[in-house]
Amino acid sequence: MKRVMFVCKKNSARSQMAEGFAKTLGMGKIEVISSGLEASQVRPEAMPAAGYAYATMKEIGIDITDQHSKPLSDFQAQDFDVVISLCGCGVNLPPEWVVREVFEDWQLDDPAEQPEIFPRVRDEIKERVTQLLRNKVDYLTDRYSERKGKAAKQTIMIASQALEVNSNMVQTNQPNVG
């Protein structure tokens, strides 16, 4: 299963919404985690932006209240296939994060600075996550399956050739009965 990391500055709004969408829309296809260049608070009482993120997602039936802010430093880049920066912070990511199989920097507006844009940013994130799942994750999954399939075919071909060689050896070592 492909692993996706959404990264933002503080992991309090955009990346949390992206994680919520990806978990919902990609259920059973991907594993999803979000983090921030630094950890913050997602609890509404601790940070107003988080309250807006919760409310904005709840409006469309997605509950992200069980998610919490995590620092990127808690994770290893090699554990992820897809890395998405939501805030233009890709330039600040350690190099190992931007060289994953898929890296994108979406550069979305920060709704924490303008709470009235939360619904618009949420809708942009939903569209981008949908495209990501359709175009990138499915492609990566197909490529992985294709590689596994090719490897299996090669193994079968080698095994068949070995059987043929063994079969020929057995036939040539048979005594002539006549």
Catalytically active residues are 8, 87
Strand, coil or helix: 6: strand
Q: Which two tokens stand for residue 66?
A: 């069980």
Q: Are 20 and 4 in contact (CB under 8 A)?
A: no
> What is the Cα–Cα distance from 147 to 130, expressed in whole angstroms?
25
Q: Name 103's Cβ contacts closer than 8 Å, sequence gap at least 6.
A: 82, 83, 84, 85, 90, 97
30-36 and 2-8 strand pairing? parallel
**3-state DSSP helix/strand/coil % of the chain, to nearest 5:** 55, 15, 35
Q: Which two tokens stand for residue 127?
A: 């569209």
